[in-house]
Amino acid sequence: MKVETLRWAHNKLEMIDQRILPAVFEYVRCDSAAAVAEGIRRMVVRGAPAIGVAAAYGVALEALRQQDKLAAEFKVSLETGFTVLAASRPTAVNLFWALQRMRKVWESVAAHTPQRIAQCLLAEAHEMLAEDIRINKAMGANGAALLADGARVLTHCNAGALATAGWGTALGVIRSAVEAGKKISVIADETRPFLQGARLTAWEMVQENIPVTLITDNMAGYLMAQGEVDAVVVGTDRVAANGDVANKIGTYMVAVLARRHNIPFYVACPLSTLDLNIATGKDIPIEERAVDEVKGFRDTHWAAAGVKIRNPAFDVTPADLVTGLITEKGVVLQPDAQGIRKLFG
Ligand code: MRU
C-alpha cells in the first residue's frame, strides 16, 4: 500500500492529518509558508524527513504566492517565509537542512524573475520528495541485511512512510526485509504522549499485513527479559558528529534496556539527519511541547488538576549504546566521529 504522506495537488501541498489517524484519514491543504509551518508545529505532519520535505514545499508555496510582486518585495516576503518555517519545530535537523538546500537554489537563480525563481524552488521540492523515497529504499536494503529471518523487531515512535515522503526509515528497514522474503514481526511501543506507535506505526503495519504487536512503553523491559525481542530499530531526528542520537522521548530508555539484554540497537538515519555542526548530543535542542499532551489525550484529562507537568518531546541516546547507524551509504557499526565523517567521504 502506498501512503502519500505529502502530495502536490491543485498547485497546493496536501498532507495527511496525522493528528487524527487512524480514526480519520484526511488531507490538510496548505497554500503558504505560514500554513505549512503551522502544520509542522501542530504535528499535522511530523517525523524528521517528512518535516524537511514539507518545509521545502512551504518555501516553494510562498514563492508562488509572491511571484507577481516586484523583485525587492518578493525577496522580503520569501525571507519571512524562511523565518516562519525555521521557527516551527527545533529538534529535527532535516528542517534546517531542507531550508538550507532551498536557500542555495534561490541564491543560484536570484538574478531571475520571481516567477522563474518560484518554478525552480518548486522543482527542487519535488526532487527532495522523490529523493527521500530513493534514500529510504537504499537505507532499507542496507538495514534489511542486519535482520535475521524470523526476527522480532521492537520500534519506538513512528519512523515509517508517515514520517517520511514514503517507505520510512526504521519501518523502511522492516519493509525491505519483508520484501526480501524474511518473516519479520514488529513490536510497536505505544509512544506516550502523542501515541505515534499506537496510532501510526500500528496502522502502517496493519495496512500491509506485517505482524505487529502493540505494547505500552513500560512493557519493553519485560519483553526483552523474556527473550521476546531480537533487535531494536528506531529512527532519529538529529545525530551529532560523535554519533549521539536524538529521537522520540523514551528511545534512550529502550537503548539502555537493549544493552542490558544484549539486543542490537540500530538507528536508521539518512545523511540529512546527521548534524556535523553539533559535536555531541548535549548541544541538540530538545523541544518541550504543551503540557496538555501529558495531562490526558484530546479532551480527556486524567492528571490531577494543578500538578506540575514536563513534556520534553525527545531524548538523546549516547553513541556507545548504538550498535549501528543504518544510512543510505551503508551501515556504520559502533558509530563515532570518524565513522560518521567517512560517510561524507
Ligand atoms: O515528534 P515527532 O513525531 O515528529 O517525532 C518523530 C520521531 O522521533 C521519529 O522517530 C524521527 O523523526 C525519525 S522519522 C523517520
Q: How far is the CA of 67 from the centre of ligand 1 (A)?
A: 33
CATH of the domain at 100: 1.20.120.420
What strands lie across the sheet with 238-240, from one edge to the other? 274-275, 238-240, 245-248, 314-317
For residues 111 and 166, membership in a common domain is answered with: no
Q: Note whether residue 273 is domain-resident.
A: yes
For residues 127 and 153, membership in a common domain is answered with: no
Report the residue count for the chain.
345
Distance separating alpha carbons of residues 99 and 50, to the nearest angstrom: 13
Q: How far is the CA of 47 from the centre of ligand 1 (A)?
A: 4
pLDDT recorded at residue 42: 97
Q: How far is the CA of 66 from the centre of ligand 1 (A)?
A: 32
Residue in the block written with cell 504487536: 213
Question: 189 - beta bridge partners?
Answer: 215
For residues 127 and 191, membership in a common domain is answered with: no
Distance separating alpha carbons of residues 156 and 220, to the nearest angstrom: 10
For residues 255 and 328, membership in a common domain is answered with: yes
Q: Note whether residue 224 is domain-resident.
A: yes
Ligand 1 proximal residues by C-beta, below 6 Å: 46-49, 92, 157, 159, 163-164, 169, 196, 235-237, 247-248, 313
Contact 95, 110 (CB under 8 A): no
pLDDT recorded at residue 30: 98
CATH of the domain at 271: 3.40.50.10470
pLDDT recorded at residue 299: 87
pLDDT recorded at residue 297: 87
For residues 211 and 335, membership in a common domain is answered with: yes
Nearest to 208 by CA among 175, 241, 242: 175
For residues 145 and 132, membership in a common domain is answered with: no
Q: List, for the chain, all residue ranges whose pLDDT scores fall below the cut of 70.
A: 1
pLDDT recorded at residue 2: 77
- Among residues 189, 237, 244, 275, which one is catalytic? 237
The pTM for the full model equals: 0.97
pLDDT digits (tens, 9 = 90+) for 62-80: 999 999 999 999 999 999 9
- DSSP states of 153-204: EEE-S--SGGGSSSS-SHHHHHHHHHHTT---EEEEE--TTTTHIIIIIHHH
User: The domain containing residue 251 runs over which residues?
Assistant: 139-343
